[in-house]
A and B are shown apart, each in its own frame.
Chain A
Amino acid sequence: MTNLTVNLKEKIGFGALFLATMAVVVPVLCIIWLIVTRGWSAISWEFLFTMPRDGMRAGGIFPAIVGTFYLVLGSVAFSLPVGVMAAIYLNEYAKDNFLTRMINLAIINLSGVSSVVYGLFGLSLFVVFFRFGVSIISGSLTLGIMTLPVIITTTREALRAVPKPFREVSFSLGTTRWQTIRHAVLPFALPGILTGAILSIGRAAGETAPILFTVAAFYLPNLPNSPFDQAMALPYHLYIISTQIPNIRLDYRYGTALVLVGFVLIMNISAIVVRSKFRKKRW
């Protein structure tokens, strides 16, 4: 009798865990299915590589793709070096004192700030105070600051995972602290650091609120030619054509969503390929 109830409990517990996992997987599959089935018919050479026409009801979304590409590149170019350096400082140099604990707290809180607040912050700091205007550089820096906590946290985890004896061996061979970090710690933390970069690419590409006031344009007839130009971007473009433009074909919206998801996927896959190359190089 007791055996039966134990078995029953086991089954219920297993079922609950399985359902929880399904609750994660099912929405993802539904979203992908929805986007692909409704958007696939819009995907064409023209859709991907030409400018929009007829009040964005026809033509392509090329400028939005280019804009998002620039924004992702710009934000990672800012947040990866700054984030990695901050993580190195915090993990390898900083002593465990009040200041360090406050910095840690700040980083944790930073990742909890809502994205629209980053947008307003970017507007007041980069657009207005630094006079970068509404531009790719303002948008990239805003997205960069937003993704900084992700990069710092993952980099610190990666640095912590490098065995302490590696550091001791390196020091015992008469190296300076920086030589030890550069040659006995960073090479072995690189795959983990790249994971942080991958995560931040996905966030930077997908966010709408931070770029709303800092870079995004409703419609531009030309592609941007300098970092100080405005740009269109995929998430904002999707928002506009879904809410501001009446009588637009349904597959145009879903096609845009499909391109955005595909874009993040392609960038993630290329970063994962780079990461696995480094993993192999380790031994």
Chain B
Amino acid sequence: MVDKKLEIKGLNIRFEDVRALKDLSLDIYKNEILSVIGPSNSGKTTFLRALNRLNDLEDRIRMEGTILIDGRDIYGQMEPEELRKRVGMIFALPIPLPLSIYDNIAYGPRMSGLRERKRLDAVIEKSLNEAFLWDEVKDRLHSSALKLSGGQQQRLCIARTLALEPDIILFDEPCSGLDPISTSRVEDSMIELKKTKTIVLVTNNTKQAARVGTRTAFFLMGDLIEVDRTEKVFTAPADQRTNDYITGKFG
């Protein structure tokens, strides 16, 4: 845990009059899963959407501070399109586009200019394999993605993100709508992906954070209360509020 993948310094985000994130500084290391936990309105999702500049889409959000990826400033030295190819995102609800399974996964690569059929086929098989979905869908790649079950759809979304070969993946409560079996499959794929990628996982499910997180960060009302190794946070939290949250005294 030496290599810093992401460095966040003095991040302040304001949504009109509301301070969503207050002076946040945090490093994220290569090949770890950083779980971000906290009650709603604690700024977790806003934080995540700052990392791939999805907050840019909202006119009313104001931001200060710097975020570096491998030492490069994502707001000053990178175009959002380039950044988002390197920093993939999985949303809370699976959102397949109303296209076939194949076209959903090919969407990103095609938009980046990959047209050659053979190479597209290869990308799609590889991505579906990495998302543990290939065996279930290999015979019906050209049927609608909307016919898949919720858990399959979420793994499809993971495959779609992987097709661009990002080195960082942001998960925004990816299992909030899934049953326990689907959840464990998504978690398995996260643990597998950690070997090659860096993962930031926002979750409302503290048990999930305990299961998969290398480190865990606790956010409360826009403040980072503490961040440490997951075992440490869950067994001997430094802050009383963290202890109250993970033991279910509020949340």
Find the B residue at minimum CB distance from A164. Answer: B57
Compute how far the CA of A145 lies from the CA of B161 in the bound complex, rounded to whole angstroms.
Answer: 44
Residue pair A165, B91 in contact (C-beta under 8 Å): yes
Interface string of A160-172 (1 = CB under 8 A from B): 0001011111111
Compute how far the CA of A176 lies from the CA of B112 in the bound complex, rounded to whole angstroms.
Answer: 10
Q: Which residues of B contact A167 (CB under 8 A)?
A: 57
Interface string of A169-201 (1 = CB under 8 A from B): 111111110010001100010000000000000
How many of B's residues come within 8 Å of A, CB to CB? 27
Compute how far the CA of A283 lies from the CA of B143 in the bound complex, rounded to whole angstroms.
Answer: 9
Q: Which residues of A contact B54 (CB under 8 A)?
A: 168, 171-172
Instruction: Check A173/B160 contact, CB under 8 A, given A184-B97, A283-B98.
Output: yes
Residue pair A172, B93 in contact (C-beta under 8 Å): no
Compute how far the CA of A174 lies from the CA of B111 in the bound complex, rounded to whole angstroms.
Answer: 8
Residues B75-113 near A (CB distance < 8 A): 80-85, 88-89, 91, 93, 95, 97-98, 107-108, 111-112
Report if A95 contacts B (CB, 8 A): yes
Residue pair B59, A173 in contact (C-beta under 8 Å): no
Q: Sample 16 A-B pairs with CB under 8 A, ordered by A number.
A: A163-B95, A165-B93, A168-B57, A168-B91, A168-B95, A169-B95, A169-B157, A171-B54, A171-B80, A172-B88, A172-B91, A173-B84, A174-B85, A174-B108, A175-B108, A183-B111
Q: Which residues of B contact A96 (CB under 8 A)?
A: 59
* A residues lining the B interface (CB < 8 Å): 95-96, 163, 165-176, 179, 183-184, 188, 282-283
Residue pair B111, A175 in contact (C-beta under 8 Å): yes
Q: Which residues of A contact B81 (CB under 8 A)?
A: 174-176
Compute how far the CA of A96 lies from the CA of B112 in the bound complex, rounded to whole angstroms.
Answer: 30
Report if B123 contacts A (CB, 8 A): no
Residue pair B111, A179 in contact (C-beta under 8 Å): yes
Nearest CB of chain B from residue A162's CB, rounded to whole Å? 10
> Chain B at the A interface: mostly helix, strand, loop or mixed?
helix
Assuming A172-B91, A174-B81, A282-B98, what are 13 further A-B pairs, CB within 8 angstroms? A95-B59, A96-B59, A169-B91, A169-B97, A169-B157, A170-B97, A172-B52, A174-B82, A174-B83, A175-B111, A183-B111, A184-B97, A283-B98
Q: Which residues of B contact A184 (CB under 8 A)?
A: 97
Q: Which residues of A contact B98 (CB under 8 A)?
A: 188, 282-283
Compute how far the CA of A166 lies from the CA of B95 in the bound complex, rounded to whole angstroms.
Answer: 7
Report if B133 contacts A (CB, 8 A): no
Nearest CB of chain A from residue B108's CB, rounded to whole Å? 4
Compute how far the CA of A166 lies from the CA of B89 in the bound complex, rounded to whole angstroms.
Answer: 13
Compute how far the CA of A218 lies from the CA of B146 in the bound complex, rounded to whole angstroms.
Answer: 57
Instruction: Check A170/B57 contact, CB under 8 A, given A283-B98, A283-B144, A283-B146.
Output: no
Nearest CB of chain A from residue B78's CB, rounded to whole Å? 11
Q: Which residues of B contact A176 (CB under 8 A)?
A: 81
Nearest CB of chain B from residue A180's CB, rounded to whole Å? 9
Residues B14-54 near A (CB distance < 8 A): 52, 54
Residue pair A170, B107 in contact (C-beta under 8 Å): yes
Compute how far the CA of A163 lies from the CA of B144 in the bound complex, rounded to whole angstroms.
Answer: 18
Q: Which residues of B contact A165 (CB under 8 A)?
A: 91, 93, 95
Residue pair B91, A173 in contact (C-beta under 8 Å): no
Compute how far the CA of A175 lies from the CA of B111 in the bound complex, rounded to whole angstroms.
Answer: 6
Compute how far the CA of A283 lies from the CA of B96 in the bound complex, rounded to whole angstroms.
Answer: 11
Find the B residue at minimum CB distance from A165. Answer: B95
Report if B233 contacts A (CB, 8 A): no
Instruction: Check A174/B164 contact, CB under 8 A, given A283-B144, A283-B146.
Output: yes
Find the A residue at minimum CB distance from B160. Answer: A173
Find the B residue at minimum CB distance from A168. Answer: B54
Compute how far the CA of A188 lies from the CA of B96 in the bound complex, rounded to whole angstroms.
Answer: 13
Compute how far the CA of A168 lies from the CA of B48 in the bound complex, rounded to whole angstroms.
Answer: 13
Compute how far the CA of A176 lies from the CA of B81 in the bound complex, rounded to whole angstroms.
Answer: 6
Point out the residue from A168, A173, A183, A283 that lies within 8 Å of B161, measured CB to CB: A173
Compute how far the CA of A137 lies from the CA of B185 in the bound complex, rounded to whole angstroms.
Answer: 63
Nearest CB of chain A from residue B104's CB, rounded to whole Å? 9
Nearest CB of chain A from residue B209's CB, rounded to whole Å? 23
Q: Which residues of A contact B91 (CB under 8 A)?
A: 165, 168-169, 172
Find the A residue at minimum CB distance from B166. Answer: A174
Q: Which residues of A contact B82 (CB under 8 A)?
A: 174
Nearest CB of chain A from residue B139's CB, rounded to whole Å? 19
Residue pair B144, A173 in contact (C-beta under 8 Å): no
Compute how far the CA of A173 lies from the CA of B108 in the bound complex, rounded to whole angstroms.
Answer: 5
Interface string of B192-208 (1 = CB under 8 A from A): 00000000000000000
Compute how far the CA of A157 lies from the CA of B82 in the bound complex, rounded to whole angstroms.
Answer: 31
Residue pair A174, B95 in contact (C-beta under 8 Å): no
Nearest CB of chain B from residue A181's CB, rounded to whole Å? 12
